[in-house]
Amino acid sequence: MEKRLLILEDGTIFEGQAFGADLDVTGEIVFNTGMTGYQESITDQSYNGQILTFTYPLIGNYGINRDDYESIHPSCKAVVVSENTRRASNWRSQMSLDEFLKSKKIPGISGIDTRALTKIIRQHGTMKATIASPGDELEHLQDQLRATVLPTNNIEQVSTKTPYPAPGIGKNIILVDFGLKHSILREFSKRDCNVTVVPYNTSAEEILNLSPDGVMLSNGPGNPEDVPEALEMIRGIQGKIPIFGICMGHQLFSLANGARTYKMKFGHRGFNHSVREIATGRIDFTSQNHGFAVDRSTLPNELIITHEEINDQSVEGVRHRYYPAFSVQFHPDSAPGPHDASYLFDEFLELIDAFKAEQVDR
């Protein structure tokens, strides 16, 4: 098999076997601890511009199927695995992981000691990395890697350019697309909602003109501070309409209300993150994918912490003290991952009903 190199910003070099597309790429290297769900992860736009490492040793064993896409055109830079299954076995499988990555022009590298790689990332934090062919001059590749400036317009790259509907007969939901997962649309579809997906830079006035019952702020990639226009939009709609934010949406909602965010050392990426609901003590195992978090010490009086991560006590959810608005850092759409937190979609729809009733009483 053809050889391929993985070069880290700190100078570490791994040699493995090539699969997927034949391309040299550079991006931020991160790791995901999920044991399954590789298709959902690769097609999750929150990995835009990142080299995605899977810590589970065997990837590709059930192939790629039509049901597990979280986007049609994935935008992660590359995939790193310990072992790439040569022959997939599952009744739903339509193609192998190798065939899929080739079709999406995403390179892969296998035969990597992903345990050692993950320990480096945990120790030194996420960093830039390059996947390249061994024939290239190594010193030149390392110099080029160090000089590379990664783009900051990740959300602009993945957000829809024009609004589009996901029709239903129930509540009218505006879904602001910062890099949404299709599973969010599925959750609203299960509840018969009429959803309109709009671009990340849609104004508050444009959203309110669509007469929404509620607004969902989706997940997405990158640094929340890179989309200041979204903060203005959130300030323009909160108090006028119920809001529910997920992941990037949670961070933007917090920023819009005066909190600050910070870059985590290596982030939360996987499907086994335990989260405590502070009011009840309830523990949910959650799906997560984020490299930034809300700084607890900067939260204004208007935001109440509702959830926290059990291992590092990072903020996992907030609720506005006065407005019908809340957000969570994890993914209640649970694709992939446990379904513990899917009830939050029902809570959002109940919040909409309560807000409407309050407006009538007035």
Binding site annotation covers 179? no
**Cα gap 209→253, rounded to integer Å:** 21
**Cα gap 176→153, rounded to integer Å:** 16
Which member of 98, 284, 333, 340 is catalytic? 333
Counted residue by residue, the chain has a size of 362
Instruction: Verify whether residue 333 is a known catalytic residue.
Output: yes
Which member of 307, 320, 331, 340 is catalytic? 331
> What pLDDT shows up at residue 360?
77
Indicate if 213 and 346 belong to the same structural domain.
yes
Indicate if 219 and 352 belong to the same structural domain.
yes
Domain-ending residue, one of 126, 150, 174: 150
Nearest to 331 by CA among 260, 257, 262, 247: 247
Indicate if 143 and 172 belong to the same structural domain.
no
Cβ pair 88, 61 in contact under 8 A: yes
Indicate if 120 and 166 belong to the same structural domain.
no
Which member of 247, 268, 284, 290 is catalytic? 247
> What pLDDT shows up at residue 336?
86
**Cα gap 80→77, rounded to integer Å:** 10
Binding site annotation covers 292? yes
Binding site annotation covers 251? yes
Indicate if 61 and 36 belong to the same structural domain.
yes
Binding site annotation covers 301? no
Within 10 Å of residue 314's Cβ, how many Cβ atoms? 20
Within 10 Å of residue 350's Cβ, how many Cβ atoms? 12
Indicate if 294 and 172 belong to the same structural domain.
yes
Cβ pair 43, 103 in contact under 8 A: no
Q: Between the CA atoms of 293, 181, 176 and 163, what dihedral angle is there, to the nearest 10 degrees?
A: 160
Indicate if 234 and 117 belong to the same structural domain.
no
DSSP H helices in the chain: 38-42, 97-103, 114-124, 138-147, 154-158, 182-190, 204-209, 228-237, 248-256, 343-361
In the chain (362 residues long), the average pLDDT of successive 10-residue segments reads 93 96 97 95 98 97 97 97 95 97 98 98 96 84 93 97 97 98 97 98 98 98 97 98 98 98 96 95 95 98 98 97 98 90 96 91 68
**Cα gap 160→162, rounded to integer Å:** 6
Indicate if 139 and 159 belong to the same structural domain.
no
What is the domain count for the chain? 2
For 140, the token pair is 């030149």
Binding site annotation covers 84? no
Indicate if 48 and 85 belong to the same structural domain.
yes
Instruction: Verify whether residue 247 is a known catalytic residue.
Output: yes
Indicate if 145 and 70 belong to the same structural domain.
yes
Indicate if 136 and 170 belong to the same structural domain.
no
Q: Within a 13 Å sphere around the CA of 40, how many CA atoms are in the beta-carbon half? A: 24
Domain-ending residue, one of 95, 118, 150: 150
* CATH for 12: 3.50.30.20
- The domain of 250 spans 155-361
For 10, the token pair is 């700190």
Domain-ending residue, one of 97, 130, 150: 150
Instruction: Verify whether residue 331 is a known catalytic residue.
Output: yes
Binding site annotation covers 291? yes
Binding site annotation covers 289? yes
Binding site annotation covers 201? no
> What pLDDT shows up at residue 362?
66
> What pLDDT shows up at residue 164?
98
Residue type for position 329: Q
Indicate if 61 and 108 belong to the same structural domain.
yes
